[in-house]
Chain A
């Protein structure tokens, strides 16, 4: 593998507090401080003038649907979509078919990753057997099989007692719990945010309170057990406030926000377009602003996409019957730059941090930095390039994106994994 010499880039690496125009050197799959004159002569040079070079993006919340729903996405297609979005490490949720609640299934997934993934793909395991919320999954075996966290994402453990035991048990293995915060009893039949828009549309609403109650429960259990609970895709203002107070007390909780929850509100559901149907649902403008402020002050630790592919024919239904979820990997950076940097005056380095150092740290992944000796996982992007996103021409097997056909600003040009270019100028090169 040739050494790489990326020149004239604005190198942003929050982990090593670097933000300056300069060069980046890669040798033997690692970031190096410099190359010798002889190495420089042999190195493949990438002129990155006008581009940002940052650590490869890290997404700790994706659904790649393998095994069981490979008509929607596979590890191969999902990892390609990730590479096209600048991601070099992603973490898959366990709600596959079968769900990832045994060491055997984890091994099957790991084998598929080894065979087909063009980036680094990590796996989580279930909290409960069959994700049914009734009995603990074999968490120790899952850990030995290689999971890096446990979650029943897509679902939420309803029994407070079982969640308490999961916290205690997982702590023994130093495994974080990730939770999709949703009280089932309050959301039966719910298909969008409960509020003025759902009232007008006559659709069953999913109230903020159903999220807030579980966030509160998790704060209490994290306090009581000392386990680390990571709250997934936070969508409500009150949840942000609950987390803010908990963090001020030093409780071991973290949380994520998605690009769609910072960009869109429930008004987008006004024409019953199922590309805006997701769980948790798009909330109100007040909630959206609170999430952005949560990201600004660190209450919400990271950005994550909740990349959730579904086929066209599955989404092409009455709103009540369509599945929840949208694609996210190929648009996450552009959408986040638009909302956070251009509209809310975040520093570019802050957004890079939310996508790199912080998520890597949260799950202890060897990623998220361009420090000397780190794996050479790099994303090169033009923060200002305008482009029209064509979901049907994307790398995911599905095309369920609310940003299909829209002009976005900020485009990933090159993605490098362990020193190897896997995506360049619109093409996968892995």
Chain B
């Protein structure tokens, strides 16, 4: 079945087959990343604009690098350098980018739904690089890609997502992808950050770390943001760490072959101890590398490429 999507907006709307296609394409691109010349001409002559209206380090760099590995020209704009600071609307900014003959726009925005909004306005592909607390589809794709590299099939695997679920776009994208793969997903953390409404997305909600982690195949940690504490979502970072921080004792509850994941940036000593973040079970830096391959796949497919032609790309 050919790839037919022009945009990548959410993982909720992708079929299992489409996620498979992206992963297969990413696997082929990952081999290219291992060569001495890490570049293919797939998007030569195309211009990709990274419109990052919210701060980002690794996602923006990964998109930058992915586009360059595909030989595209890349222009990056952030919130402080775009005319949105002068009051220009998102519509006008995006339409100007299109009028400047960009071929694709990658958007990071603090407002949920903004990539969908742009996809209805623009005639060029829109890639969601994170929209508010809604979705971060390429992160979900790279996370599940990494899990599959280590675990093979995810069907029936126990995946625990631990931390600030309520405000996490990473959690939502992973939940959508993992449930499609048939994984058993448990989300865990303080009740203020892990509300019961998530059960409607097909996951188990828990506030008991021990039972959640027992025999888990994957634990994915999410960054605890200091501002959540000042907003009254939990009493203190110390109390959070005391109850939910991943340390060696708690990691022993996991399946011994379990992998430890984190989308970054890490608060060492808060959501995870350093020895675990840097330990043998950690795949945190592999996630970063896989992020390039997955984003190459997404840029390539949404530009009209097909999974089976990637090797010759």
Contact = CB atoms under 8 A, between A and B. Distances in A.
Tell me whether A and B are bound partners. Answer: yes
Interface of A: 195-196, 198-204, 271-272, 313, 316-321
Q: Which 4 A-B pairs have the closest CB atoms?
A: A202-B134, A272-B113, A202-B133, A318-B111
B200 A318 contact: no
A203 B167 CA distance: 9
B74 to A, nearest CB: 24
A199 B111 contact: no
Interface string B254-276: 00000000000000000000000
B111 A196 contact: no
B151 interface: no
Given A317-B89, A319-B117, A320-B111, 8 more contacts: A199-B166, A199-B195, A201-B112, A201-B134, A203-B133, A271-B116, A318-B117, A319-B113
Contacts of A320: 110-112, 132
A363 B40 CA distance: 74
Contacts of A321: 111
A404 to B, nearest CB: 16
B119 to A, nearest CB: 11
Nearest to B133: A202
Contacts of A313: 89
A269 B113 CA distance: 11
Contacts of A271: 113, 116
Contacts of B166: 199
17 contacts: A198-B197, A199-B166, A199-B195, A199-B200, A199-B201, A200-B12, A202-B131, A202-B135, A203-B112, A203-B113, A272-B113, A313-B89, A316-B91, A317-B90, A318-B90, A318-B109, A318-B114
Contacts of B134: 201-203
A201 B110 CA distance: 13
B198 interface: yes
B69 interface: no
Contacts of B91: 316-317
A280 B201 CA distance: 25
B24 to A, nearest CB: 28
Contact of B112 (A195, A196, A319): A319
B172 interface: yes
A196 B197 contact: yes
Contacts of A195: 197
B112 A202 contact: yes
A319 B195 CA distance: 23
A202 B131 CA distance: 9
A188 to B, nearest CB: 9
Contact of B116 (A198, A203, A272): A272
Nearest to A195: B197
A107 B116 CA distance: 46
B7 interface: no
B199 to A, nearest CB: 9
B116 A200 contact: no
B197 A199 contact: yes
